[in-house]
Every structure is written in structure tokens, then in C-alpha cells.
Amino acid sequence: MITTELSKIDNIIQNQREFFQTGKTKDVTFRIEKLKNLKQAIIEHEQSIVEALKADLHKPELETYLTEISVIKDIDYTIKHLQNWSKPKKAAVSWDFFSYSAKIYPEPLGVVLIIGPWNYPFQLIISPLIGAIAAGNCAIIKPSEIASHTSDVIAKIIAKHFDPAYLTVVEGGVEASQKLLAEKFDHIFFTGGIAVGKIIMAAAAKYLTPVTLELGGKSPCIVDTDINVEHTVRRITWGKFINAGQTCIAPDYLLVNKKIKKDLIDGLEKSLKEFYGENPVNSPDYARIISEKHFDRLVNFLKDGEVIIGGENQPSERYIAPTLIDNVSLDDSVMQEEIFGPILPVIEYTDIAEAIALINSRPKPLALYLFSQDKNLQKRVLQETSSGGVCINDTVMQVGVSSLPFGGVGDSGIGNYHGKASFDTFSHKKSVLQNSFWLDLKWRYAPYQGKLPFIKKLLG
């Protein structure tokens, strides 16, 4: 384990500030070269990444490629567009500014801090890091201590391939985080829970540091009658039970039209068998809960409502079977807290208005899912609800589209990233106005006498 002594944190930041001041990161060629290095480093360490995720989460190799190592695609996308994104963009000026020209220059912020969670512990560090590098920043990275094997691999990769005055990993838990938060950064990018998000924002406020908070919450999944049941159940099963439900945008609970509830539950039972066999504990394709503490929290939810599928668990393995719960009360803890595990409550509605009212009575979710081919219903749900993002007739796939900004709203987060949005998040847009010397009209200069009618005309 490469552990940075916490007492050296102020030193690391100072070194990065000095490196940033050299101006090297302002060169787009430098940034592209570093992105290429990052891609190469990931490819070189592919096997260690797979092994670390297996050790932390029993993550199947395919899921590691699909949801972690796939950040390589984001690197390619960023490299392809970076020259264009970094160019100053002309801004329009109105006719009364006819002798001026206006441009917007994206410029790097400086030294940024990236703090990550444990559930997609590699991707959720590297993905914002791509944006930080692309925009020309230096970065300090604090992976989650709870996914300790992945944290180690990230630390090794960065230490081996990058100058610490440019990119550094600080490993550790709350203490390391707090030590970092005591320092001044030019941006803090945090992915994690709402409670810690508030701590981050309070710490950032002290220095007026801007923050991006990628948080969680309860993402509803509405299922209407106008669907292809077979496709729907597969897409819900995949999005809910990938990584054993430990996904920030996993459907947290189902809101199902009463008329289709039985078909949907039967279908989900069938697709669970198709995915993970008769006994998912034996499936090589089903992950485990990250820690004993998280396992205990989830097992407690099994007391709520009535388990209709699954419910089995093994503490020694931190295994919880894919589980469906019926007859939950909205006051049950499973409907109060973000579940973040393989437990799926099913709530029925008779009219879509009930489902919408339930969603709107709660904090704005990170994701909202709707299964329906009914265009009017789609329009209504989009118009009457607010969420970080929406995916219609699928789950989780929205995260893979680089042209869609990813982030929450309200309690589910502040700011967004991915693709161009990542570049924007880590850039300051500097507005530059230029006048010329060929003319100097005197209408704005004192003495003002006699000029007011012209000003009034100008404003009118």
C-alpha cells in the first residue's frame, strides 16, 4: 500500500500549486499526452484492477470491464474533442457594441480534489479525473478506503505513471478526508452519500471552493401496462442487481400499475433464474455486499413488508439474494432510506397520478425510470416530476452516454459531469471583451448634459 503521510498533505498541495504555476497544464498537447498515459496505465494494470474489484466486491470480470475499465472509452472521447472544447468561443454582441468583439476562454481552475465512493471505486475516481486532466488541472485523489484493494491499485497506477506534483493519490478514510478538507482547493468533486456531501460542502464554504456533489437517493422505477414485459423484466433485473444493487442509479423501488403487477413479478422471478440460476449464491455473476456493516444495514430492511422472492442471506459471505418485497409501508425504513443493495420493494398504483404524487412528495431522485410506450404518459411523467436524469424503457444505461451530463438535482446532487460536461465542470469560463481604437463615441462619458434622451432611446 502506498500511503501518503497525512502530515505531508500541505506539502503535496504546495508542490501541485507550484507545478500548476509553471503553466505546463495549460498546454492542450500536454493534457492529451497525459490522457493517453492514463489510458495506457489502465490497460497495463487491467488484471490488477479486475483482481482488486473481485477482492472488494466479488465483482464479476465482465461487470468490471463494463462498468469500471470502460472509462477508457471516456478517455478516447475526451481526446477526440479536447482541441475543440479548449478553443476560445466567440460570443455574440448586440448592435450597440458594434466596435467590440467578445470571446469565452475556458481556463483550468488549479488544484482540485476528487473524493470517491466504494461502489464503482475505480470508475468513479477515474471518470472525474479525466475531466480534471482535460481541463488542465492538477489533482489530488482520495479513493474510498472501504474498497481498499481498488484504492491501492489506483494509488499504484498514479504513483507509477504521474509526477506527484501533477497527480497524487492520498489513501485513507475519514481522517484523510478531513485533513484534505482543511486545505484550500480550487474545486472539490465528491461522489458519495448525502450526509457526507453536506460535510464536504460545509468544509468547502470556508474557502468559497466550488463543489460538484454526486450524491444518491431513492430512484423510482415506474412500470405502466403498455410495455414489453419480457424486455422490461430483464432490464430491471440487470439494473437493480448488477453489483448486488450497490449502484447509485439502480432502481430503488418499483411503482407498478396494479393491472400488470402479477405479470411483472412472475417475469422478474423468471429473469432472476435466467441471470443467476436457482441459487444465486453459486452464481459467478453475482456480487457481494461491500462490508459487514453494510450487510447488517441491508438485512434489517428484510424485516419490512413481505419478502416474495429471495430474502436468503449468508453473513460469512456478505451475500444477500436478489430480493423482492411486497406490501411495504411508506414509513418502513426500506422506503425511507436509500436501499443501495439487492432489495427491491414493489408498490402498486391504480392511477399514474398516485405514482407521480409519491415521487414528488420525496426529495428529487438522481434517476427516474419509466417503462411505457404511451407517449402521453411519457410526456406527463417528464413534465410533472424532477430528477437528475430520466431513462425511458431501460435502466442505468443513461450513465454510458458521453453526450448526456450526469448529475443530480436537489438532494441528489449539485453539478454534473461526463464528456463535455466534465471539461466544463473543471474549467472556468473566462469572458473576454475587446474594444478597438477606430472610434470612440462619447455618449457614456461626462459631462452628461443633453445625453439622457439618447440613453433612453438606447435602452428602449
Binding segment for ligand NAD (CB under 6 A), chosen from 25-33, 89-97, 186-194, 223-231, is: 186-194
From first CA to last CA, the distance across the chain in angstroms is 68
- Point out the residue whose Cβ comes nearest to ligand NAD: 216
Instruction: Choose one: 37-45, 152-160, 185-193, 306-314; the region binding ligand NAD (CB under 6 A).
Output: 185-193
Q: Binding to ligand NAD by residue 409, rule CB under 6 A?
A: no
Which of 106/408 has CB closer to ligand NAD?
A: 408
Residue whose grid cell is 447488517: 296
Candidates 51, 61, 145, 394: give the one binding ligand NAD (CB under 6 A).
Answer: 145
Q: Does 118 bind ligand NAD (CB under 6 A)?
A: yes
**Minimal CA–CA distance to 396: which of 368, 422, 420, 373?**
368
Between 181 and 223, name the residue whose CB sits nearer to ligand NAD: 181
- Which one of 128, 192, 220, 415 is in contact with ligand NAD (CB under 6 A)? 192
Q: Is 177 in the site for ligand NAD (CB under 6 A)?
A: yes
By rule CB under 6 A, what string of x and - marks binding of each residue 248-267 to ligand NAD? Answer: x-------------------
* Residue in 68, 138, 171, 248 annotated catalytic: 248
Total binding residues for ligand NAD by CB under 6 A?
A: 27
103 alpha-carbon distance from chain centroid: 30
Is-contact 280 272, C-beta < 8 A?
A: yes
Q: Beta strands 413-414 and 211-214: pairing type?
A: antiparallel
**Residues ≥6 apart with Cβ < 8 Å to 374:** 224, 226
- With H, G, I as helix, E, B as strand and everything else as coil, classify residue 449: coil
User: Could you tell me if 140 and 6 are in contact, meaning their C-beta atoms sit under 8 angstroms apart?
Assistant: no
Please report how close the Cβ of residue 402 comes to ligand NAD at its closest, in angstroms.
15
Q: Tell which one of 3, 178, 314, 333 touches ligand NAD (CB under 6 A).
A: 178
Q: Is 94 exposed, middle or buried (0-12, 13-18, 19+ CB in 10 A)?
A: exposed
Residue 154 binds ligand NAD (CB under 6 A):
no
Q: Cell match 453475482: residue?
A: 286
Q: Is 2 exposed, middle or buried (0-12, 13-18, 19+ CB in 10 A)?
A: middle
Q: Report phi then psi at 207, rounded to 5.
A: -110, 10
Q: Which of 166, 276, 301, 340 binds ligand NAD (CB under 6 A)?
A: 340
Using the structure block, give the residue that is written with the C-alpha cell 449464491.
281
Interface residue with ligand NAD, options 93, 104, 174, 432 (CB under 6 A): 174
Least separation in angstroms between CB 102 and ligand NAD: 35
Please confirm, yes or no, whether 391 is among the known catalytic residues. no
Question: Pick the catalytic residue: 63, 68, 214, 348?
Answer: 214
Among all chains, which residue has been given the C-alpha cell 435502466?
A: 395
Query: In this chain, which of 74, 304, 338, 348 binds ligand NAD, going by CB under 6 A?
Result: 338
Binding residues for ligand NAD restricted to 362-381, rule: CB under 6 A: 366
Among residues 12, 53, 114, 124, which is the contact residue for ligand NAD, using CB under 6 A? 124
**What is the grid cell recorded at 433?**
471583451
Q: Out of 10, 11, 18, 173, point to the residue binding ligand NAD (CB under 6 A).
A: 173
Cell 412528495 sits at which residue?
Answer: 361
Four-residue CA torsion sign, 140, 143, 145, 149 = negative
Cell of 237: 433485473
- Residue carrying C-alpha cell 470508475: 123
Minimal distance, residue 167 CB to ligand NAD, in Å: 17
427-434, strands of its sheet edge to edge: 89-91, 101-108, 427-434
Binding residues for ligand NAD, rule: CB under 6 A, are 115-119, 124, 142, 144-145, 173-174, 177-178, 191-193, 196, 199, 214-216, 248, 338, 340, 366, 408, 413
* Catalytic annotation, residues: 214, 248
